[in-house]
Amino acid sequence: MSNAKFITIEGIEGVGKSTHMDRLVRHIKAHGHSVLTTREPGGTPTAEYIRDVVLGHNDENIPDIAELLLMFAARSLNVENIIRPALLAGTWVVCDRFADASRAYQGGGRGIPMQHINTLADWVLGDLRPDITILLDAPVDVGMSRTTRRGNPDRLDVERAEFYTRVRDCYLDLAKAEPERFVIVDASGTLDEVGALIDALATEILENK
């Protein structure tokens, strides 16, 4: 890979990933780097189709294992067709969710054994790992209250608080296990308060590139 950074942004629903991702990207561009943004599930036309299947309200039940496999199918498309080529070309990549989302949602939330998820991750990702993972963290009740104000909830948005508590706990466990990769940002404050934390983090990332 080139010296381009691969940054992922994680967190439960309602922590402001899209808003703060845009803020981070503006900083990176302002320092003269080309940046590609993508999301999961999604990122390519076929992966976006899979996103609609996974997150849409369908008449057919989607078993937990099917949900996991669909997530990794979309991830494979995103990695091979978008992320790897960009990094090889020297373009920074910022991704809204990545493999840690499967660990947190399908592992922590759904209860799928972590070894199954890690086996899929090793197979699909090979040696690709994020350089930095920003975990936007907020209490579950804060995230859920923000989500209800958005309207048009997807299939995961309507999960119960107990589900999101397991997801959040798993994210925090992942961050504790890999402190050299994860940066936890308190996302419970106002937009400006969290934005200031993102600004400071962006400065640190760019100074240590």
Q: What amino acid occupies position 119?
A: T
Q: Number of folded domains in the chain? A: 1
Residue 157 binned pLDDT confidence (cut-offs 50, 70, 90): low
Residue 62 lies in a domain: yes
Task: For residue 85, say if its preceding peptide bond is cis, omega within 30 degrees of 0.
Answer: no
Read off the CATH number of the domain in which 76 is found.
3.40.50.300
Residue 29 lies in a domain: yes
pLDDT of residue 152: 65
Neighbours of 29 (CB within 10 A): 12
- Rounded to whole angstroms, the Cα distance separating 95 from 9 reads 6
Neighbours of 169 (CB within 10 A): 14
Residue 90 lies in a domain: yes
Which helix (H) or strand (E) element contains residue 198?
helix 191-207
CB 26 within 8 A of CB 149: no
Residue 47 domain boundaries: 6-207
CB 146 within 8 A of CB 12: no
Residue 17 lies in a domain: yes
Residue 1 lies in a domain: no
Residue 20 binned pLDDT confidence (cut-offs 50, 70, 90): very high
* pLDDT tens per residue, range 34-54: 999 999 999 999 999 999 999
Residue 55 lies in a domain: yes
Q: Is 186 helix (H, G, I), strand (E, B) or coil?
A: strand
Residue matched to tokens 């010296």: 3
Residue 167 lies in a domain: yes
Residue 149 binned pLDDT confidence (cut-offs 50, 70, 90): low
